[in-house]
Structure 1
């Protein structure tokens, strides 16, 4: 069972009973705090774990796979605060914060804890009930504003990330796709993250790989699946989600069509 509150700048997430895995695109910069349980995330380059009491920062425009593990209480609980671009632009104008330029960095990183900010995030638990009441959004916006000030006090250099409003620049398409082919996102998202329009992405893709994006993604995922099943003795049910397939039946059908044999007989 999972409960998540959305649409407001502060989200309370609670997941019960068993581990939950998935993947997502991170559209906005986010502060997260693990109240109970453990969160594991992987952006395709690095795997990071956050445990009870950990505070972390997520960069926008990043891909990530996650697993939420309930703690001893049987629950995974977290609090997240999102900073939309409009909010950050207004903050930048009001307080004079500017970015020193585009910076490289981790998709998901630990923030110092315990700290004033981590204690602040812990204190937000009492506001969870407000999300069920009408007209309380303004108060949560104030709490979001406070969190942003505390984040900048705790880690001043993060301003170069928060207040960089540029769109992703055109990057090496081949390197990006080889690193991220296993993420189950649509072609528009891949195009945006590589700094291209969808039409330019498709054109550049075929120049590099000599296949359409959809065909290449399917073949690349199936190749990796074949290797994992044959050489690493992995079960199809354990790998299909990690390779970007939405369900096991679709994976099995595609695998048999490609290799002429069901995954279980490799």
Structure 2
């Protein structure tokens, strides 16, 4: 699983127009589909498809297709995302990621909108005003590292969308995201402990503040979330090292460790042996 926008910052086919932490504007152009299409979107995103199409699948199994010259609001969360690339062409998109601070500042200027009858997925057209804004932004800031303009330009975009045909729905959806319902913490954690997420991410995804998440987690598991995650991830790692010939780096990624050195250190602390030696010893036992 890849965490975005962070994974985009070092991607050779993705151009960073403006970047400030998790808030950014990126330009994506790829000729080949990424087979690893599970994503954790770490900040709300607006994706404009310039060429090709985009398929989004939510954890609930709802699938949306976003075609050329359409925009989708993708709330922070887990998704299966696939670029649909036309034959002998490329997939092209502009993606605007905006963090909680920007979202809260934008919403502070609006009264509470009616939250009933909102679409589950908000898709709207890339109209002339949004096209002019995007083209001008890319022309002005491309290759110039003027990242201090990230927040004001994203706020300008959000206000521009609020004036569009589906502006009320857009504002309503963002307001609705601030009132997420709680998910079953035990079920969610058992299904997602091996994702490269931190405590703040798990708290958000289960519809809780960090303090409430820690309290509810301790109530369910009788252990802190950090200690539980380490034990669950390392237990799965030990199983994979016994059953597979994958590299230590690959195993680390499969259990939620993006940093192999951190994984090796945690594994050694738990089992008093390096993961590589653990794998070698098990193979020897199988041959005896």
TM-score, normalised with respect to structure 2:
0.60
Change in CA separation of 1:205 and 1:224 when aligned onto 2, cut-off 3 Å:
same
**Does 2:238 align with 1:221?**
no
In structure 1, which of residues 12, 29, 49 is the aligned counterpart of residue 26 of structure 2?
12
**Unaligned runs of at least 5 residues, structure 2:** 1-11
In structure 1, which of residues 80, 84, 91 is the aligned counterpart of residue 103 of structure 2?
84
**Does 2:148 align with 1:129?**
no
**Unaligned runs of at least 5 residues, structure 1:** none
- Give the aligned CA root-mean-square deviation in angstroms: 4.8
Q: 1:225 deviation in Å?
A: 4.6
Q: 1:32 deviation in Å?
A: 0.9
Deviation string, structure 1 residues 189-245 (Cα, Å, up to 9, x no partner)? 4335445554553343233223331232123334445666767x5835556435321
Deviation string, structure 1 residues 72-115 (Cα, Å, up to 9, x no partner)? 6677542326461221231x24xxx613369894xxx4726xx4
Measure the CA separation in 2 of the matches of 1:51 and 1:174.
Answer: 33
Measure the CA separation in 1 of the matches of 2:178 and 2:122.
Answer: 24
Change in CA separation of 1:230 and 1:204 when aligned onto 2, cut-off 3 Å:
same
In structure 2, which of residues 187, 209, 214 is the aligned counterpart of residue 202 of structure 1?
214
Q: Please tell me whether the aligned partners of residues 255 and 262 of structure 1 are also in contact (alpha carbons under 8 angstroms).
A: no
2:3: which partner in 1?
none
TM-score, normalised with respect to structure 1:
0.63
Change in CA separation of 1:223 and 1:78 when aligned onto 2, cut-off 3 Å:
farther
**Does 2:165 align with 1:163?**
no
Measure the CA separation in 2 of the matches of 1:202 and 1:9.
Answer: 27
Q: How many residues matched?
A: 251
Matches within 5 A, 1:97-136: 98-100=113-115, 105=120, 109=121, 111=123, 115=125, 117=126, 122-123=131-132, 124-131=134-141, 132=144
Measure the CA separation in 2 of the matches of 1:45 and 1:239.
Answer: 27
1:58: which partner in 2?
74
